Structure 1
């Protein structure tokens, strides 16, 4: 069978993998995914065992599906713990399962990479792969339109919808140009938030990945870890991840550091493509009123305007983004469950959930602050 399993992306040449990518989404690149592995951030020990699936013919790589064997459901942002609990009560195994996703990253994009016919063949072979390796199910999260079309053509895959929020830049001249599109009350609220931060004597400095020193990366990581510590959780990423990624894809990294009287107090870490800023990690070492909004939202919006980026993806969840101009956007994931009873029950649940998500997204449009309906 042309289906091949690879348990370390280092087994593949970066050029062979990246040749399959349909766009410049940085999270799909060999550099990003291999850095997760080589830094120890994903491994069997962390419950994210690399299990990439390839479709090869005559020694040529035609399609690929980045994936992981999971022993839990943490770090996925598509929540199936309820399904796992139902299996536990019914004495059915749910873990290990197979997941096609970017670890810890709820960013949409292509998932089945490469030639369309080879991609379809790879997906068709996946159910047999699950049986052979005693995996309960396959899940492919945050898919783009092309992947949705491909998965919709496969039998017995179940579609799940979610809702995130994106800020769109139609070509604003500056931040004031954006503010001018808002209703008066909302415009005043955003101005007040920014003024509160400015009154705290904050300055913001942007750095590309290769412009940060190792001591600054220590600060970035300290902030990142603190975000989890305040919730009593362990961070997903290792310290080595940040330095290694800065070596491999420095041009894709943008970090803004908030300084008060020249002392760094907070940061936001982002990646960038040709059209999109992806806000990923935030952290602070001291609490200041409205600092989160300024560092994670308004600084990113200004960066997008300045650099002509059309979209700002500031991360998953967060209805508070609506009043700051981030419009609802439907997300998709797909699920293949081997057990027929579980598949039927989940299918019924997802049918009801899809209707509720679509209604929520439609209602959320009413919370946007634009006076002319721009989004």
Structure 2
């Protein structure tokens, strides 16, 4: 806004604020327990809301558009580079099945929640796309769906606030469940029993700091990570543009053709598919690159800062309560389907809770829970399986978003 202390065309200052606050959010999350509990994403978001609502930074600027146009597409392949497909099927086959059952819970919850609230919350078709993708994958899928369906910025911010508040509450529930007699009687829990045999362990750092250990990253790693990500973005976006132009669409063609056009002309879906294909074809190349997950995660933190900027606090107060109900229904159905499916197929309680966590919060939060609980044998497999959500999340979000859009 023109009244803001920093003007919309003061690009270097605005870029500096976004990058510095993203860095501070990561630092606080890894340094202090309160920030780790809240999550760095919320710290980044709330800081941006304060800066924009107090008139320090403008609500609109080409700098924010650049984050949507360039930063998010780069983050998607970077966060997928560390996926090891052989491990998904070899080491984590058991978890993979229950993860997919949990994903069905997310889809069912989103559909139920949409039909219950579609007349009460505006842009719920777009929000449903974002949340279903996010609650199968993670923040990168939320970002991709937000960029694709383009809901108003204030609705994105309100959704993020509701989502993160609900996730924080759900993680507390997930941490408590293994301590409750009701669940212990009905599910096997070998990892809990193994930990209970050991005496107290000291935790000198936050979970975030423990997970993001110092990595051996070279100049070549940075060059190959960024260079490969840019190459995949260029090829994918050009391919999507070409496919979108040759597949018929519009009011005078069938729904099926419109759906095919939307899927194959979607630059984020094509980017996900091309990255997936590259990983399958050149696994050794991607395994040799260190630091891509760190770079991708940092870029996503820039996104969290930017989506907080257009948030109007009065609008969030108006919209977040109903949005909280919307996401709560999705999470509740996911938990019920995960527990019932896990019980039916004789999964351990720890495995069920971790895959539900991986769906709702992403693989890193699931790994953080496994670390916190001392379930050491499940840390690697849940990280591997949880990354599958990054791959399928965009497909689920796009399909549901297009369907919801027809109904709205």
Asked if Structure 1 and Structure 2 have the same fold, meaning a TM-score greater than 0.5 normalized by the shorter chain, the answer is no
- Structure with greater helix share of residues: 2
- Structure with greater strand share of residues: 1
Q: How does the TM-score come out when normalised to structure 1?
A: 0.30
Q: How does the TM-score come out when normalised to structure 2?
A: 0.28
Higher RCO (Cα < 8 Å, 6 or more apart) = 2
